[in-house]
Structure 1
């Protein structure tokens, strides 16, 4: 799962690197447009991705025939929400101008956003099938499919962005189009594994293509809080990002580059989060809670060790890391100076990310999604209100805004750890309700 999620990070990283060859404005626009797209689909993606925990729980309880039925319900949901997604997307695209972005930046952000939105069904379907294979512990399938997708995306985006091999130069639209095509390619690879004869017979795949009321209700009951949590977290983060970009193009470019390096830590930890969700879900389904402590210990050992090393790297090489994205022929010194200071904050909160993602993976696998939703919503909304005050009311500088963001992540990590090391989420009565259809 770490390799799989890192492949996705590499795809985004190279797209932004290609954008940097055009100009700082394109880097900032790709970040704004990309995050806004994620926010637009976040609610539905959060619900659909709960397939990992559901499938793992059915696998642990020995109900193998119900595992592929989860995929069917997820794809039905992905198809059903398409009209709503377009309506939401049309309104979301207005945010760029409302946040005070320059007209040139707004035009680029909208181009990137709408191309990604056109491929939203593919993105949601990929989330569903990848979550299924994670849930049945076939994570090698996820790795192969995602890595092959990236191997298609990187050269394809290069060709489309810069107009090579006789194709027109599409710029930022080419980057988005390359992502959509690569996503479709990954879905096709997943389908080959899904309809493989051995897998098809073991899980009764061909008998799964129907609406299942019990699984659908359980999917929504446990997955909707998870989806709301993802949506509110992504939405408030996106508004913070757009507010921060109102400082100017240099500040927006600095943030985009810092978050690009942040993916080296955050995205592999997402892989750990998915793996932990799957393992905890399986033990919950099997009624074997004694193994959960071993999962928690192993996950923290791996995640914290990785984040400590990466945090040191971010501090020691911060200026060199910023200069990787320097646009040829342009003065990049202002962006490097600001971004280098922000990299210190990044090195500070990487451990908080590790704690948040491991703790949330455990709690999500155990079905404690309502608590995660309430806590995450409260703290993210609080963070956004603080950012509005800092940026728009008090008119403080970008570093004041940045350190307030870092402080919020540290606070969130402390609260998640307190819940994890308590006992309420593992009580037998609550777990019995989680497994009920």
Structure 2
């Protein structure tokens, strides 16, 4: 963490939205670059034709389950690190880092084992041809290196984020992205004397990039926190006890992310039953919702990091109240920016997607009323959820997410699309109604105030 940020956290007035911005902008850029990397990889492989693109998509779908699990536990690691960093207890910091790394490596190893045992059968069943299945398996075999690298890299990125050093993960992505692009191009097409490996070259390019990224993060860890190696002892007396505590904290957060991903995939499958133009419009707007929404979500995560650090330092309740009020105001500004992006995309549909049917573009324009409202309740709920998670209230947050998804959004989407034949705009509005349903439960819990008295060091 920077010295200025540390001083702000420990002062009488406490941190403000400026401190959130200092943490949030690198996290936001990193998330956007991560999403952009997927688009770039698909673009590079598209030059090989539809067969290669289908093989990559199939392999990515299989690998995505393992990567999603790694990301879910890494998010829990980020919150835990922020809590223990706030305590200043080096034994606690070392225990959290070792536990988080152990969990990520275990998840990655179990995932890879499952892929090697069952991945071939899954790919063979889902692939439209033997050629696609063979290419997908070749890609996935090399991509296994990326999965192991992400297990380490995401843990280290979450550790640095939790410590307030959010620029380091961003720098690692800025370093690895051009390496990924140029090495993939060279290995796909056999440039500069290298072999032309086709789709396997794209996976190898990603593997080279992740090795460089992890190497950079490990170098920064040794440079900044080499003293952790000499810290004696473990939290709760043993590594096993520390690991057990970390797992107990992480599981509800990971379950929340698993549920959200699965619910989103189920709804996407249901959207396929819409009319062709409506489904095309939903397919087009979904990436924009994900990418632009990153601004608000990363603001909320940065808020949660600072709340966790303040709770670890046993900050006064008035300091916590002032900070959260400031962060909340910033969240509404972020929501306004996101709404402006959504508005611009929809109003520019005729220029952005000129080759599409006019009905599809008309449906995109009809999304405007929903999209300009959605970021505000979503951003406010995200502030509540991350603040409550920072205090350790993870199970309550998990219940809000899971029940709103599986008792409302998924069945309501199925009913609206499969039986009521709703227009696409009303189907999309279910995302907003889900946030409005969650809003009272989140805000009532936060305003109750018990989170401000959480015992982080327990």
Shorter-chain TM-score bucket reads 0.7 to 0.9
For structure 2, the residue ranges without an aligned partner over 5 or more in a row are 1-26
Q: Structure 1, residues 297-339: CA drift from partner, whole Å, max 9, x if none? A: 244134213202211221122244346xxxxxxxx645x8647
Cα distance in 2 for partners of 1:433, 1:206 equals: 27
Question: Which residue, 342, 358, 369 being the options, matches 1:311?
Answer: 342
| Cross-structure match for 1:85 | 111
Q: Assess if the C-alpha contact under 8 Å between 1:39 and 1:231 holds in 2.
A: no
Alignment of 1:301-380 (within 5 A): 301-322=332-353, 333=356, 338=360, 341-342=363-364, 345=367, 348-349=370-371, 351=375, 353-380=378-405
Note the C-alpha offset of 1:255: 5.9
Q: Assess if the C-alpha contact under 8 Å between 1:162 and 1:170 holds in 2.
A: yes
Distance 1:187 1:253, change over 3 A: farther
Q: Structure 1, residues 38-94: CA drift from partner, whole Å, max 9, x if none? A: 333434432232122112112222213422331211221223334431354465777
Q: Assess if the C-alpha contact under 8 Å between 1:153 and 1:181 holds in 2.
A: yes
Matched, 1:4 2:30: yes
Alignment of 1:26-425 (within 5 A): 33-34=59-60, 36-89=62-115, 102-103=128-129, 107=133, 115-196=142-223, 198-201=224-227, 204-207=228-231, 212-242=239-269, 244=271, 257-288=284-315, 289-290=317-318, 291=320, 292-322=323-353, 333=356, 338=360, 341-342=363-364, 345=367, 348-349=370-371, 351=375, 353-382=378-407, 383-388=409-414, 394=419, 400=424, 403-404=426-427, 406-423=428-445
Cα distance in 2 for partners of 1:175, 1:346 equals: 37
Note the C-alpha offset of 1:193: 0.7
The answer to which of 275-284 and 205-214 deviates more is 205-214
Distance 1:182 1:311, change over 3 A: same
Cα distance in 2 for partners of 1:111, 1:249 equals: 33
Q: Assess if the C-alpha contact under 8 Å between 2:311 and 2:454 holds in 1.
A: no
Cα distance in 2 for partners of 1:308, 1:122 equals: 35
Q: Assess if the C-alpha contact under 8 Å between 2:56 and 2:199 holds in 1.
A: yes
The answer to which of 64-73 and 111-120 deviates more is 111-120
For structure 1, the residue ranges without an aligned partner over 5 or more in a row are 324-331
Cα distance in 2 for partners of 1:172, 1:347 equals: 42
Q: Assess if the C-alpha contact under 8 Å between 1:32 and 1:241 holds in 2.
A: no
Cα distance in 2 for partners of 1:20, 1:344 equals: 31
Distance 1:345 1:156, change over 3 A: farther
Q: TM-score, normalised by structure 1?
A: 0.79
| Cross-structure match for 1:432 | 454
Secondary structure of residue in 1 paired with 2:399: helix
Q: Assess if the C-alpha contact under 8 Å between 1:153 and 1:178 holds in 2.
A: yes
Distance 1:143 1:25, change over 3 A: same
Q: Assess if the C-alpha contact under 8 Å between 1:157 and 1:177 holds in 2.
A: yes
Note the C-alpha offset of 1:227: 0.4
Q: TM-score, normalised by structure 2?
A: 0.76
Q: Assess if the C-alpha contact under 8 Å between 1:367 and 1:434 holds in 2.
A: yes
Q: Assess if the C-alpha contact under 8 Å between 2:143 and 2:207 holds in 1.
A: yes
Q: Assess if the C-alpha contact under 8 Å between 1:236 and 1:380 holds in 2.
A: yes
Secondary structure of residue in 2 paired with 1:164: coil
Whose radius of gyration is greater, 1 or 2? 2
Q: Assess if the C-alpha contact under 8 Å between 1:307 and 1:354 holds in 2.
A: no
Note the C-alpha offset of 1:375: 2.0
| Cross-structure match for 1:326 | none
CA RMSD of the aligned region, Å?
Answer: 4.0
Cα distance in 1 for partners of 2:149, 2:205 equals: 13
Note the C-alpha offset of 1:278: 0.9
